[in-house]
Chain A
Amino acid sequence: MLLIIKATKLELIKIFSKWRTYIGFATVAVLIPLIMWLVRKYGFGLENQALRSLGDSFEFVGSLANGLLVSYYLMNVLWVHFPFFIVLVAGDVMASEGASGTYRLWLTRPIGRFQVITSKFLATFGYTLAIVLFMGLCSIGLGLLIVGGGDLFVFDKGILILSQGDALQRFLLAYLIAAWAQMAVAALAFMFSTWTNNSVGPIIGTYAVIVVSMILAVIKIPALEIIRPYLFVSYFDVFFMPFSDPIPWGEIGVSLLKLTVFILTFFGISAVSFLKKDICT
C-alpha cells in the first residue's frame, strides 16, 4: 500500500511536470475571467419568457444575472468540451511510458505491474479532480468577484431560485460529482492508453467515443433506448442534480454507482491488459 502511495506521488509529479497538463488549467484561467468580464460589461440575457406569465401581476426586484448564474451555465462545458482536457492527460499516462520505453526500467524496481497501473490510475484521478475543482473554483470565485453574487436562478420542475448560501453548497457538491463523472472519461482514455504507445490514438479514440455516445444518447429513437443504459455519458447529467429541490440523493447515488461500474470496468480492462502486456519487445 505504501508503495502505491509513493508511486502515485511520483506519477503525480510526472503528470504535473509535463506542459500538456497545464493546457487545461491555462485555458480555464484565461477563458473564465474573460467570460465573466464580458458578462459584467454586456449583461446576460435571461430566459425572460419563463417569468412572462407572472409579468403582469408581479414586479421583479434585483437581478438574476450574477456570477453564480454564469457559473451554472458554464457547467455545460462539462458535457463535451471539458473532457478534452481530461483525455489530453489521461490518454498520455500509459502511452507515453510505452513510447519512451520506460516500462522496462520501472518494472526492474520492487513494484508489481498491478501496483504500477494502480498508481498511474490514482494519479490520473488526482489530475482529474484537480482540474475539475480548479474550474469550479475559478468559475465561482471569479464569478462572485467580477460579476457579483446573488440568488441562483435554475430550472427544476419550473423555476427554482436558490439563495446564494444554498447555491454555493450545491456548487461544491456538483463539482465533486462532476469530478467523478469526468473520471469515467479519464478511465476510458486511460484504458485506451494502455493499449498503445502513442497518446494521439487514445485522445482521439476517447473523444470519438464521447461524441458518438452523446449522439446516441440525445437522438430520440425508441430503438436507441436499449443501448442508453450502456453509455456512460447517459449518467453525465448527475452533476446538475444537486440543483434540484429537494436534492434527489437516490438518483445521484444510482448514477454515481453506475459511473463507478464504468470506471472500475475500464480500470479492470486496463489492468488485465497491462498485466499481459509484452514490454520486452
Chain B
Amino acid sequence: MKRSLRITTIIILTLLSVHNLKSQTDPRAILDKVQAQYDAIEDYQVSVHLNVDIKNFRMPNKTMRVYFKKPDKVKIKTSGFAIVPRFGLMPTPATFLNDSVQLEYVRSFRENAIAYHVISVQPKKEIKTSPAIYLRVNAQRWTIDRVQLEYQQIGTTEMDIVYQNMAGFWLPETTKILFDLKHSIPPVERPNIDRPFGGMEQYAGNDTQPVRGYVTITFTNFFINKGLKDAVFEEEDY
C-alpha cells in the first residue's frame, strides 16, 4: 500500500513537473502571461515623442498623441506629418499575433539575474512582406523587452524597450529602434539648373546602399482606463 502510494506520488510529481516544464517552454502560454497584464487596459492615451535618425531622411522631432481603445481602435494625432515604426508603439503580444503566424519556443537565457524566453513568430506561408519576428520576453515581469524583425526584402529591425510601471501596468518608457535596411532612401538633390523640377526619376531602378538608422520613441503622460470616447477615433486627420 505504502509502495503504491509512493509510486503514485512520484508519477503525479513527474507529470506536474513535465506540465510545468512544458508550460515554461510553451510560447503561447508565455505570451498569454504577457498579454494578461494588458487585458485589463480598456483604453489609454499617451504622448509619444519621436526622434528619427536615418540617413537621407530628415524629419523634425515630433510629438504625437496616441489613443487606443479595445478591441483595436487606434488613433494617432499629430500636426503635419510623421513616420511611426509599425511595431514600435505598444509591443503587446496581440500586436504580433494573428492567424497567419506560428509560434516557436527558441531558447531561454539569463542576463543580469533575469530569465528571458525567446519566441519566434513566423509567418505560416512564406510572404515576402511579412517579417520573421523574434520576441525576448522578460520572465520576471512578463514584458517583451526586445523585438527583432527580419524582413526578406528590406532588412532587419531591432527594438529595445525600457519599461516604467504606471498604475500597476508595465508600459514602455522609451523604445530605441535600430533599422538595418538593405536599401536607403536615394540622396535626391533639391531642384537645380540640371533638374529644374527635381524629383526621383534619376534614381528609379537604381540600387541604393544599405543603411542603418535609429528611431527613438519616448512615452509620457499615460492616461489609462479613463473611458475614452469613440468620437476620438472618428475625428478627421489633420
Binding site for B on A (CB under 8 A): 47, 49-51, 53-54, 56-64, 66, 76, 79, 148-151, 153-164, 166, 214, 217-218, 220, 233-234, 236-237, 240-241, 243-245
Contact = CB atoms under 8 A, between A and B. Distances in A.
Interface of A is mostly: mixed
A138 B150 CA distance: 48
A162 to B, nearest CB: 7
22 contacts: A47-B199, A49-B200, A49-B204, A50-B200, A51-B185, A56-B151, A56-B153, A57-B157, A59-B83, A61-B76, A62-B81, A62-B237, A155-B188, A155-B198, A158-B57, A158-B58, A158-B187, A162-B60, A163-B80, A166-B60, A236-B193, A245-B58
Given A50-B200, A159-B57, A240 B83 contact: no
A63 B194 CA distance: 29
Contacts of B78: 61-62
Chain B interface residue number, banded: 35 or more
A63 B199 CA distance: 19
A158 B185 contact: yes
Contacts of B193: 217-218, 233-234, 236-237
Contacts of B194: 218, 220
Nearest to A236: B193
Contacts of B154: 53, 56-57
Contact of A150 (B81, B84, B199): B81
Interface stretch (B28-36, B117-125, B176-184): B176-184
A66 B80 CA distance: 9
Contacts of A217: 193
A62 B190 contact: no
B95 to A, nearest CB: 12
B55 A158 contact: yes
Given A76-B196, A159-B57, A237-B196, A60 B188 contact: no
Task: Please indicate which of the listed interface residues A54, A66, A150 has the most CB atoms of chain B within 10 Å of its own CB.
Answer: A54
A51 B71 CA distance: 30
A236 B193 CA distance: 7
B63 to A, nearest CB: 11
B18 to A, nearest CB: 40
Contact of A62 (B57, B200, B238): B238
Given A50-B188, A58-B83, A164-B79, 12 more contacts: A49-B204, A57-B154, A62-B238, A63-B81, A76-B191, A155-B191, A155-B200, A157-B56, A157-B189, A161-B60, A240-B190, A240-B192
Contacts of B7: none
B79 A243 contact: no
B11 interface: no
Contacts of A57: 85-86, 149, 151, 154, 157, 179, 181
A60 B185 contact: no
Contact of A58 (B85, B196, B237): B85
Contacts of B83: 51, 54, 58-61
Task: Please indicate which of the listed interface residues B64, B189, B193, B197 has the most CB atoms of chain A within 10 Å of its own CB.
Answer: B193
B86 A59 contact: yes
Contacts of B80: 62, 66, 149-151, 161, 163-164
